[in-house]
Amino acid sequence: MALHALLRPITATTTRPNVIASTSIIGIMRKQPCSNMAAFHDVFKKAKHIVALTGAGISAESGVPTFRGAGGFWRRYNAQDIATPGAFLANPSLVWEFYSYRRDLVLSKKPNPAHSALADAEKQLADEGRRLVVITQNIDELHKDAGTKNLYELHGTLFKTRCTKCGSVNENRDSPICPAMAGKGSPDPDAEDARVEEGELPRCKKCTGLLRPHVVWFGESLDPDVLMNAQKELDSCDLCLVIGTSSVVYPAAMFAPEVAARGMPVAEFNIESSSSTENFGYVYVCNSFFLCV
């Protein structure tokens, strides 16, 4: 069953037959954690405050590269080595090529049924006096495009810039982001680095300072306000969904285990078990978010 089909019957007043076969993995909620969909339906129906933690896996179904693991390369570079303050300081042109490519790619993508299912569930639950919040590690804004309102973007967004001089943050969906980036950013391993002069890179309209993507890079801290608000949601939720994230990047890696540790149910939907799977009471391992096996 597809993930989008998974959420919709849960919010209905009637229970549909369980047509999903899932992998059962030992966790701390039960000696034999539940992988029965009917049981999860019952938990979902009773929940008043639900938090969905999402990661790159949910957007992969829309054609957005995850840039993690063995395939996490752009050109000949490890993408995680480019997404750092040091890389930007050393070669802002290269970093902007990488992000220009990602911006243009995501602008061509649409939310998939999993994004839409969460947005639809948020609306329906609100009508019932219940709450659903999405906390995402993704920077593609596909949750927002799908209509999700209760949204915390832990790692920022591709479509905001921040001035390195005055700190001004602004939305920006220009394509290209500046004239010098037109046609740049090809992921081809044989592509030449553009080596754009710093003065031709994206500049602040207020002070002409150099702009950077408004994202949280490796080695940087999350926005304290975003983190505080996300933590409040996690501290008060009575059900947590983990969707498309391997839960290896901190502090997000501890979110779901913390919810499980205080006795609240956690349900994981992933293409493979994660390092935190054993902490969860409901586990559904899927080949994709459209075809669960």
Structure letter (DSSP) for residue 97: H
Annotated binding site: 55-74, 99, 102, 137-140, 163, 166, 204, 207, 244-246, 270-272, 287
Tokens 């586990």 -> residue: 283
Which among 41, 143, 155, 214 is annotated as catalytic? 155
With a CB cutoff of 8 Å and minimum separation 6, the contacts of 206 are 163, 166, 168
How far apart, in whole angstroms, are the C-alpha atoms of residue 275 and residue 254? Answer: 11
Kindly report whether the peptide bond that precedes residue 111 is cis, defined as omega within 30 degrees of 0: no
143 in active site: no
Annotated binding site for NAD(+): 55-74, 137-140, 244-246, 270-272, 287
Structure-token pair, residue 259: 């919810």
Give the H/E segment covering residue 243.
strand 239-243
Annotated binding site for Zn(2+): 163, 166, 204, 207
HEC assignment per residue over 44-73: HHHCCEEEEEECHHHHHCCCCCCCCHHHCE
Annotated binding site for substrate: 99, 102
Residues labelled as active-site residues: 155
